[in-house]
């Protein structure tokens, strides 16, 4: 369970979160809805460790996330995916997918997830064969190639 308890956060001298609290149980889907500037992104960046709140508590499965840097929070299974065009547009599709799997070591699970991606976006890699993409994910130094294609609007 994710527990956010009374977090307060600011951008400079301006406080933008005034005691946000929420709980998300396993299997639940929760949305944050609000006007521009309401604090949705700040709430999410506090949870993922990209923005440190001034006060409050954030815990996942009983573990306090506040002292952890963002790269350690990722290993707990929480990550912040940039919105819109703030993904890595200069990376190939394969490289962007590799970033999503970089902390994983379950090759069968990665292969299954890639199959799901191909089902959702069959033209996302512009003809790159699944096995080729899987091999790219396993390489240490990812080579950029025009054959990998670039992310298009709907694939971002």
Q: What is the pLDDT of residues 115-131, one digit of tens each?
A: 787 777 766 555 555 55
Residue-level pLDDT at 136: 59
> Using CA atoms, how far apart are residues 16 and 39, in angstroms rounded to an integer?
6
The percent of residues above 90 in pLDDT, for the chain, comes to 48
Instruction: Specify the CATH class of 2-80 in words.
Output: alpha beta
Residue-level pLDDT at 126: 54
Residue 107: pLDDT above 90? no
- Give me the chain's average pLDDT, please: 80
pTM value is 0.69
Residue-level pLDDT at 139: 54
Residue-level pLDDT at 143: 37
> Using CA atoms, how far apart are residues 104 and 106, in angstroms rounded to an integer?
6
Residue ranges per structural domain of the chain: 2-80, 85-155
Residue 89: pLDDT above 50? yes
Residue-level pLDDT at 100: 77
Residue 147: pLDDT above 70? no
CB 65 within 8 A of CB 47: yes
> Using CA atoms, how far apart are residues 126 and 15, in angstroms rounded to an integer?
45
C-alpha pair distances (Å), 2 with each of 28, 82, 94, 107, 131: 10, 20, 31, 27, 36
- Give the DSSP letter string of 12-27: TTEEEEEEEEEEE-TT
Residue-level pLDDT at 102: 77
């Amino acid at each position: 369970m994710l527990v956010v308890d009374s977090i307060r956060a600011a951008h400079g001298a301006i406080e933008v979160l005034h005691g946000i609290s929420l709980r998300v149980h396993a299997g639940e889907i929760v949305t944050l809805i609000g006007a521009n500037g309401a604090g949705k992104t700040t709430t999410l960046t506090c949870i993922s460790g990209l923005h440190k709140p001034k006060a409050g508590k954030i815990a996942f499965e009983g573990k306090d996330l506040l002292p952890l840097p963002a790269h350690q929070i990722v290993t707990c299974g929480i990550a912040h995916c940039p919105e819109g065009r703030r993904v890595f547009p200069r990376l190939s599709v394969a490289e962007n997918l590799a970033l999503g799997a970089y902390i994983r070591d379950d090759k069968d699970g990665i292969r299954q997830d890639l199959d799901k991606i191909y089902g959702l976006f069959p033209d996302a890699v512009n003809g790159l064969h699944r096995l080729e993409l899987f091999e790219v994910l396993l390489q240490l130094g990812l080579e950029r190639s025009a054959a990998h294609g670039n992310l298009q609007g709907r694939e971002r």
